[in-house]
Amino acid sequence: MEGCAITRLVPPDYRGTVEALRRRHGPTMLDGHSEPFDTLIATILSQRTRDETTDRVFAALKRRWPDAPSLADADVDEVDSVIHSIGFHRQKARGVVAAARALMERHGGRVPSTKEELMALPMVGPKTAGCVLVYAFAEASAIPVDTHVHRISNRLGWVRTRTPEATELELERRLPRELWLDLNSLLVDHGKRVCLPRNPRCGECPVRQRCRRVGVGARAGGR
């Protein structure tokens, strides 16, 4: 069976896997760098939220408060009324206003470009900081890890971790830095199209010969 030989592939072929995903999924989100402020606020809103909902709510928020000065002066209740359709809307309304105020007070309204300074902002953890560094600054100084990256990294056999935070540390320790920049975009895209949480489409997978299929049944996705 296809899965039997795959499990014997050691060590993981990081570079070959990333190149195969690039060929399959094409240009990544890095091809059009986002404004740092937009990336920061959109990523805060995206926490535990589907992308399509985030995009719609962020667009509505940006129409009212397009930059750090305007959002810093916003009333939290008004922000909440605009983003109320998103999950955890009250927490996020307080968070984005607090983040904008922190930017004005500490950085003159500009988004900082270091992980340490970003993580000192309200509502910013490792994933959000990593997304800002990668997508706004094109800095290969972090690997943002969400549920897709965490799941696929374990499924490939690259790591054996229980949390996204642990996965981030292991990936940054193991992968060559030149592979960091578009890894999040590639694995998120792959996780949405092919390597689904349930019933992954292994028969369509461009990296199936490099995948150890950890936790995946033998019949998943066909041959």
| Long-range contacts from 112-121, C-beta under 8 angstroms, 24+ separation | 113/36, 113/137, 113/139, 114/141, 115/141, 115/142, 118/40, 121/40
Task: Judge contact between 30 and 185, C-beta under 8 A.
Answer: yes
- Cis upstream peptide for 197 (omega within 30°): no
> Angle at CA 18, nearest 5°, toward 112 and 12?
110
Q: Which of 123, 114, 150, 110 has its CA nearest to residue 45?
A: 123
Establish whether 192 is a catalytic residue.
Answer: no
Residue of 127, 182, 189, 192 with catalytic role? 127
Establish whether 115 is a catalytic residue.
Answer: no
Helix axes 14-25, 183-193, angle to 10 degrees: 60
Provide CB contacts within 8 A for 31, sequence distance 6+: none
Give the active site residues. Answer: 127, 146
